[in-house]
Chains A and B, each alone.
Chain A
Amino acid sequence: MSRRRIEVLLHALPAWLVPLCLLGSVEIAMRVSGIQSDGLALPSQIAGALVAAIADGEIFLRTAETIGAISLGVPVGGMLGLLLGVWLGLSPRAARLASLSIELFRPIPPVAVIPLMMLIYGLGIRMEASIVAFACFWPTLLLSRDAVLGVEPRLIEVARMLGLSYRKQITKIALPAALPRIFTAVRLTLGIALIVAVTTEIAANPFGLGYAIISAGLSLRPEVMYAFLIWLAILGWLLNAGLIALHHRLFGQAYGDVA
C-alpha cells in the first residue's frame, strides 16, 4: 500500500476504535498470561456483568438514585450561588463585605460536611443532595460573579447613554452578556456534582452508583465494579456532550460562538 493510501486510511479511523482495541488486547494479554487477581477482571467478564446489570435493571435503579440526588442538589446550590454571585457582581459594596466569608467557607471540602449533613438529615437522598448543593454553591457563586464583572464596560456605557433603567441594564445587558459564562459554570458544576455524589455514596450513603461500586468491591466481584465504573464514564461523557451541544445550540450563532 502506498504511503498516501495509508494516510487516507488513518484519517478515516474513528476514535472509538482506540478503547475497543485496548480492551481487546487486555483480554488477550490476560488470557495468555493466565494472571489471577482480586483487583482484575477480564473485559469479557466485565461486559457480561454490565449486560446482567442492565438486564435486571439494577444499573438503572442505581443511576436514578445518583441522578436524583444530583438533580435535587444542583438546582438548589446552583440557584443560590447564581443569585448571590450576580448580586456580588453588581454591587461592589456587597462583594467587599462578603469576600472574607467566601474565602473562609469555600476551601471546606464538600466531603467534610458529610458528618454534619448525616446529623441533620440521616442517610438518604436529602443528605446527599445537600452535600451536592454545598459543593455546587461555591463555584457557581464565584463564576457567576466573575461573569457579571466581566461584562464589556462599553455595553454598560451604551445602556447608560440609551437611558436604560438600572433594572433594564441588568436584565437586558448584564445578564444576557454573562449568560454564556454562567452556562459554562453550570457545565463545570454538573461535573463536580457527579464527583461529589459518588464520593458521598462510597463514603457514607448506601445509595446510588457509588454504593454499587463499593459493595461490588467489598464482595470481591471486580467485574461488577468495573462494569459500574465504565457505566459512570459513559454517563459523565454523555452529560458533558449533551451540555456542550446545548451550549452551541443556545449561544452558538447569537454569541459568535463564545466557548
Chain B
Amino acid sequence: MNHVGSFPARANEASATPAIAFDDIRLELGGKCIIDGLSFAVAPGEFACIVGPSGCGKTTLLRLVTGLLSPSRGEVRRFGDAVQGPSRDVAIVFQDYGRALLPWRTAAGNIALAFEAMNTPRHERAERIAVLLDKVGLTGHGNKYPAQLSGGMQQRVQIARCLAQQPRILLMDEPFGALDALTRQDLQDEIAGLIRDSGATALFVTHDLDEAIYLGDRVFALEANPGRLAEIIDVGLARPRNQLQTREHPEFLRLRHVLFDHVQKTH
C-alpha cells in the first residue's frame, strides 16, 4: 500500500481517537470472503471517500459501521468503542431514496420520524423540521409526498432526516448515484457545506472517482476479491471547493490521474 499526495494527513489524526476505525476486518457471507484484512481509520471531522470496483465491499463497509452487520473477525470501533449495533450517533443516507422514505408520509412527516424516535417534545418538532427543510433547500415542500418530489428532492428529504438525529458520523452509500449530473453537482456542494457546518465525520461511498476527490479530505481506494485497502490518497484541495475551479485545478487533475491509473491497475 503506498501513500500518495502532496499534503500530509490531517494533523489531528494522530492525537485524537479515530471517529471510525477498522481493525483487521474479515467478513464472510454465505461462505464467500467479502473483505479480508482491512484496516484503516477516519479522523473526527474528516470527510472520507471510499472508491473501488463493484464487489469490493464498499456498501458492506458502511453496514459494518452502522452495526446492522458484524464482521467475522476483527473489530469496528466508533470513537474508540466497539460497534455493538445501530446508534443514534450514526446516520446513513441510502442510495435508493425511493425505498428509504415512507411513501405514506409527507416530506415533513418523514423527517418527523427521527424526532418521534428520539421522543423530542411535540411542540419543538414543527420548528426543527422547518429549519431542516430550509437547510436542504426544501422550504415550502414539506407537505408533499415522496411520489410528488423529484429524485433529487427525495434524496434531500433523506439527508434532512439523517441530520435530524444530529449524528456524529454520517454514512453515505452512493447517495447521488441515481441522480442526473446537474442535480448531483448541486447536492455535492450542499452536502459538503452541511457536513462542514455540522462538524460530523463523513464516510462517503461512490463509484465516481471525480466525486470522491471533489468531496473528500482523503480517498480510500479498495480492491476486490476479497475487499482490501489498496491505496490512500490525501486530497489537499482548498475548501470551500468549486465545481469549476476545483475541478480544473492542476492538483485535482493530478490526483485524478493517480486514482485512474490505480483503478486500471487493480481492475
- 18 A-B pairs within 8 Å (CB atoms) are namely A154-B94, A155-B99, A157-B94, A158-B100, A159-B113, A160-B68, A161-B66, A163-B86, A163-B87, A163-B118, A164-B113, A164-B116, A168-B117, A172-B116, A173-B102, A177-B102, A253-B145, A255-B103
User: What chain B residues lie within 8 Å of A256 (beta carbons)?
Assistant: 103, 145-147
Which partner residue on chain A sits nearest B118 by CB separation? A163
B138 to chain A, nearest CB (A): 18
Is B114 an interface position by the 8 A CB rule? yes
Which partner residue on chain A sits nearest B94 by CB separation? A154
Which partner residue on chain A sits nearest B66 by CB separation? A161
User: What chain A residues lie within 8 Å of B161 (beta carbons)?
Assistant: 162
Residues of B within 8 A of A (CB): 66, 68, 86-88, 90-92, 94, 96, 99-100, 102-105, 113-114, 116-118, 145-147, 161, 165
User: What chain B residues lie within 8 Å of A164 (beta carbons)?
Assistant: 113, 116-117
Q: In residues 201-258 of chain A, which contact B (Cβ within 8 Å)?
A: 251, 253-256
B97 to chain A, nearest CB (A): 10
Which one of A152, A162, A179, A255 lies within 8 Å of B99 (CB-CB)? A152
B144 to chain A, nearest CB (A): 10
Residues of A within 8 A of B (CB): 152, 154-155, 157-165, 168, 172-173, 176-177, 179, 251, 253-256
Which partner residue on chain B sits nearest A254 by CB separation? B104
Q: Is the CB of A162 within 8 A of B102?
A: no
Q: Is the CB of A161 within 8 A of B99?
A: no
A1 to chain B, nearest CB (A): 44
A155 to chain B, nearest CB (A): 7
Tell me the bound Cα distance from A253 to B87 in angstroms. Answer: 33
Tell me the bound Cα distance from A173 to B113 in angstroms. Answer: 10
Q: Is the CB of B145 within 8 A of A155?
A: no
Tell me the bound Cα distance from A154 to B158 in angstroms. Answer: 13
Tell me the bound Cα distance from A48 to B67 in angstroms. Answer: 73
Tell me the bound Cα distance from A163 to B66 in angstroms. Answer: 11
Q: Is the CB of A157 within 8 A of B68?
A: yes
B228 to chain A, nearest CB (A): 26
A249 to chain B, nearest CB (A): 14
B52 to chain A, nearest CB (A): 22
Q: A168-B117, A256-B146 are in contact. List 19 more A-B contacts (CB 8 A).
A: A154-B99, A155-B99, A157-B94, A159-B117, A160-B68, A161-B68, A161-B91, A162-B88, A162-B113, A163-B87, A164-B113, A164-B116, A164-B117, A168-B116, A172-B116, A177-B104, A255-B104, A256-B103, A256-B145
